[in-house]
Chains A and B, each alone.
Chain A
Amino acid sequence: MKVGVVTFPGSLDDVDARRAVTFGGHEAVALWHGDHDLQGVDAVVLPGGFSYGDYLRCGAISRFSPVMTEVIEAAGRGMPVLGICNGFQILCESHLLPGALIRNDHRKFNCVDQRLRIENTSTPWTSAYEQGAEVTIVLKNGEGGFVASEDVLDQLEGEGRVVARYLGDNPNGSLRDIAGISNERGNVVGLMPHPEHAVEDLCGPGTDGLGFFTSLAAVAFA
């Protein structure tokens, strides 16, 4: 599959995401925020970083980037879209996902090897995991606290749209320990932790994140 990774001004983990896509067995395609062009990719990753310096509000400016018109349209058609960290924030600002991400409750940037439980394996990004799999993936952010109204949270839980949940001490104040969610259709996933930093034993805490990138193949060949 061809998987696009968007670079916004201030994207940081775009190089890492492209490497992870390659490790997942796909062709990584660099997409530029200023182009109205997805270059025929089959899926899109919005990587981590501080797009537009996180000025105004995380993801609030990137959401208006030209490429996002195409991403939103393609997501509506069912194209798999994964937003990691800042990408998750952009997806929320774009209203592709509900809720918002606010400053960590302890008010510090926090970079840790985080344990997670994969709660929904029916998305194109998580099908390679076993239901309930416990994994360790890098978490690093200053504004990772997921918030939404009680109704929305209940809906997310009820529809099985909580994709991943934090294990152990809640690292950032996310409501109901939510680390990642999906849209109703399941093709759009937002994840605060960084699976692209856990795809090789050499650089990062193991390979538990690789599943997010190999899942696409499982879907494609299903």
Chain B
Amino acid sequence: MSETDHSPRTSTLDTVAVASGDPERDQPWADLGLKVDEYARIREILGRRPTSSELAMYSVMWSEHCSYKSSKVHLKQFSEIPQETPVGKMLAGIGENAGVIDIGQGYAVTFKVESHNHPSYVEPYQGAATGVGGIVRDILAMGARPVAVMDPLRFGPLDAPDTHRVLPGIVAGVGGYGNMLGLPNIGGEAVFDETYLGNPLVNALCVGVLRHEDLHLAKASGVGNQVILYGARTGGDGIGGVSVLASETFDADGPAKRPSVQVGDPFMEKLLIECTLEIFAAGLVAGIQDLGGAGLSCATSELASAGDGGMHVELDRVPLRDSTLAPEEILMSESQERMMAVVEPGDVDAFMAICAKWDVEAVVVGEVTDTGRLHIDWHGQRVVDVPPRSVAHDGPTYQRPFARPSWQDALQADGADSLARPTTGDELRDTLLRLVASPNLCDKAWITDQYDRYVRGNTVLSQPHDSGMVRVDDETNLGVSVATDCNGRFAKLDPYAGAQLALAESYRNVATGGARPLAISDCLNFGSPEDPDVMWQFAEACRGLKDACVELGIPVTGGNVSLYNQTGETAILPTPVVAVLGVIDDVTRRTPTGFVAEAERVFLLGETRDELSGSEWAHVVHSHLGGLPPTVDLAAERALAELLADASRDSVVTSAHDLSDGGLAQALAESTFRHGIGVSVSVADVAGGDAFVALFSESVARALVTVADDDADRLVELAHRHGVPLTPIGRTGGEVISVEGSFEVGVAEAKTAWSATLPAALG
């Protein structure tokens, strides 16, 4: 192995023949993250020991990240939800790269949210950048043009030194990659909590649009069809990243098993997108798969097992960035910006011509066979001979033990009722100013201004609106809307309710803009599945999501699970991020967030209860987390969403803002900041006249809306028809936020406090 020439390392090549002749050789299965019984199972499947190449493939594909071995028994229930949206049957569901839903007018939409948490802690810029790149390729592989991205992010405390290392890098990475792809970033979240210190969350969402007839599925069918690898060359980056990085927690005892994070080239990805869309348009693809986690191991085994069951690959044809790579490394490499297509022999020349036009390298590396086996050769010698399903789908399934944590009852018993509450007008005023300036509620422009939200010219709503919305069709004004949400504190207090609350908020945010929610994707970020407490949180969250989806009549189209998010014994707050996608027939009727005119009437929709446990107020003012989260009321959410969508369709309301973190006070403040239009309200009829509860409770199924005087009756009628409680609370206008009989605060003063926080902390 001391040679520096480029000859293949045949002297050490572990072929199928060698493996059969040398059955008892010691293999580093444990170092690759496999358990003893998993290694035994591989030997049983193959009837011999695996070659080192086969071992590499099984180890990455059977890792937690790729096989969902701890989570799949719980995820299974999502398939029990009717696979139908309010518009119609799903065109592709869970199990594909991303689910595809009908949005009418012959259009379909695919969207998915994924995590790239651990790489982003190790190398914030590249970890976040390649997270964006990976999800975009997932969407592209369905035949869709990616049209927007969104990034839910979680960081440690804003004042922690490591946050100042991690956050700027992650934000620059999300922007650096997404901006160069020409994809508008239309929203997302940035949440700070001490449990994310040392384990930030970088979730990335992409939305793509396609015509029904353009749907492409990942399968290799048609014996004799050619298998083409195209895009970037394969290098040594990210080798083992999946099995090791995504499955090991960050213990203090060092980085021994921490290999390089993948490095992204967004320019290549942009070429790959345009090239692939042109290939789709020319009808040259029989099957397609992106290369993400587990690289070629994943693409070849998944394509083969979803198609006619066999594939033959000549691995030495793979274009390399580093010619010294061994076959095992090529199979495990997670080099970015690569795709694999299955193409009929007669279409290969046309396929290659399009790749050449876009300066994208493309090579035929194999063909579809009817052998039922995945055969991979290295310079004519067989190094892999496996049933592809056994690699791609027959990974281990764990029934991890789970149990309600011993501390859960005590946590829930420790409600926010005992905390000292502000009572005087001055105290309430100070509380409002303190909350709007707190890290979770403050202006996120420092982050979002680093993202291009305008490119493609179809962005109708983006940050700081409640949801992102893009136009799909210039002629008909059909559009789609997306929001992502999750309050991890609520999920800690009650993971079943917390997951439902995440869904409810996201659902409400989509409706607030005027769209009708159709489907969800989720990114389930949790601690170690080997901890029964964490596993209980996970199981409860899945159960909560499933029940809520059934009740709301919307399916889960796919998603992602990220486990082992913890440092030492400390798990992150359970963070089931839920993305809801909605459709709007006419984007010109979208409802903006924020007051748009003076002297309009302001109404509060929904019911306000004394629900302060887990609230931002308890967190910011008392550093307290305990009690029960706000009561979930999905029927009320649905009624509110229908009202808001109707109000958009009928142009009844001029603005709408959902009530969530920080309650009515935050919604009022943010609504005034948008155009500098103040508001005067009375909360005498809210929460029994308790100004503190009225302003800061985080009861759900609520929204703040404004209407012109002439339209007030129509709003009242709509609310009545949908059974949504409605309270007139005041009027827009002036330069202050005024709460009758309590306090006044200047819009400019509050906005200054709101917008100063991130720049002051991050420069």
On A, residues with C-beta under 8 Å from B are: 9-10, 12-13, 15-16, 19-20, 34, 49-50, 52-55, 108-112, 138, 140, 142, 194, 196-197, 199, 202-204
Contacts and interface: CB of A to CB of B under 8 A. Distances in A.
Given A202-B471, A203-B459, A111 B452 contact: yes
Contact of B454 (A49, A109, A110, A203): A203
B398 interface: no
Q: Residue among A15, A53, A194 with the most chain B CB within 10 A?
A: A53
B361 to A, nearest CB: 14
A73 to B, nearest CB: 24
B457 A204 contact: yes
Nearest to B180: A50
A205 to B, nearest CB: 9
Contacts of A194: 454
Interface in B442-475: 448-460, 471, 474
Given A12-B180, A109-B176, A140-B179, 14 more contacts: A16-B456, A19-B457, A19-B474, A34-B357, A52-B267, A53-B268, A54-B267, A55-B267, A108-B449, A109-B179, A111-B448, A196-B457, A202-B460, A203-B457
Nearest to A51: B267
B454 A108 contact: no
A56 to B, nearest CB: 12
B519 interface: no
B271 interface: yes
8 contacts: A10-B267, A13-B455, A16-B454, A34-B357, A49-B182, A108-B449, A109-B450, A140-B454
Contacts of A196: 457
A196 B182 CA distance: 14
A204 B460 CA distance: 8
B270 interface: yes
A194 B453 CA distance: 12
A110 B449 contact: yes
B529 interface: no
Contacts of B265: 53
Interface in B66-125: none
A197 B270 CA distance: 20
Which applies to chain B's interface (DSSP): helix, strand, loop or mixed?
A: mixed
Nearest to A196: B457
Nearest to A198: B454
B270 A138 contact: no
B455 A12 contact: yes
Given A12-B182, A53-B180, A111 B453 contact: yes
B200 interface: no
A111 B452 CA distance: 6
Contact of A138 (B175, B176, B454): B454
Interface in B586-603: 587-588
Interface in B330-362: 357-359
Contacts of B267: 9-10, 50, 52-55
B266 interface: yes
A52 to B, nearest CB: 7
B61 interface: no
Contacts of A53: 180, 265-268
Interface in B253-291: 265-268, 270-271
Nearest to B448: A111
A142 to B, nearest CB: 8
A49 B181 CA distance: 9
A76 to B, nearest CB: 29
B455 A10 contact: no
B172 interface: yes
A34 B248 CA distance: 48
A197 B457 contact: yes
Nearest to A49: B182
A137 to B, nearest CB: 10
B471 A10 contact: no
B454 A197 contact: yes
Contacts of A112: 449
Contact of A10 (B175, B271, B454, B458): B271
Cβ-closest 7 pairs across A and B? A53-B267, A12-B182, A16-B457, A197-B454, A50-B180, A109-B450, A109-B175
Contact of A110 (B176, B450, B460): B450
Nearest to B458: A203
Contacts of B474: 19
Contacts of B453: 111
B588 A202 contact: yes
A55 B358 CA distance: 17
Nearest to A17: B457
Contacts of A54: 180, 267
Interface centre among A108, A196, A204 (most CB of B within 10 A): A108
Given A55-B267, A202-B588, A203-B471, A111 B457 contact: no
Contacts of A202: 460, 471, 587-588
A48 B539 CA distance: 47
Contacts of B452: 12, 109, 111, 140
Interface in B153-178: 172, 175-176
B182 A204 contact: no
Contacts of B588: 202
Nearest to B171: A108
A29 to B, nearest CB: 18
A197 to B, nearest CB: 4
A34 B359 CA distance: 11
Nearest to A204: B454
Interface in B568-612: 587-588
A114 B172 CA distance: 21
A54 B471 CA distance: 29
A22 to B, nearest CB: 10
Contacts of A10: 180, 267, 270-271
A140 B453 CA distance: 9
Q: Which of A10, A54, A110, A196 has the most CB of B within 10 A?
A: A10
Given A12-B455, A203-B457, A203-B458, A111 B450 contact: yes
A50 B359 CA distance: 16
Nearest to B268: A53
A150 B267 CA distance: 35
Nearest to A22: B474
A9 B471 contact: no
A34 B182 CA distance: 21
A111 B186 CA distance: 12
A10 B182 CA distance: 9
A194 B451 CA distance: 15
B176 A9 contact: no
Contacts of A111: 448-454
Contacts of A108: 172, 449-450
Interface string B228-266: 000000000000000000000000000000000000011
Nearest to A15: B456
Contacts of A199: 457
Contacts of A138: 454
A147 B448 CA distance: 27
A203 B460 contact: yes
Most buried by B among A12, A52, A112: A12
Nearest to A197: B454
Contacts of B176: 109
A175 B757 CA distance: 29
Nearest to A50: B180
Nearest to A16: B457
Contact of B358 (A9, A52, A197): A9
Contacts of B460: 202-203
Nearest to B590: A202
Q: Most chain-A Cβ atoms within 10 A of its Cβ — which of B176, B270, B474?
A: B270
Contacts of B268: 53
A6 B365 CA distance: 34
A39 B471 CA distance: 31
Greatest chain A CB density within 10 A among B357, B452, B588 is at: B452
B587 to A, nearest CB: 7
Contacts of A16: 454-457
Nearest to A23: B457
Contacts of B450: 108-111
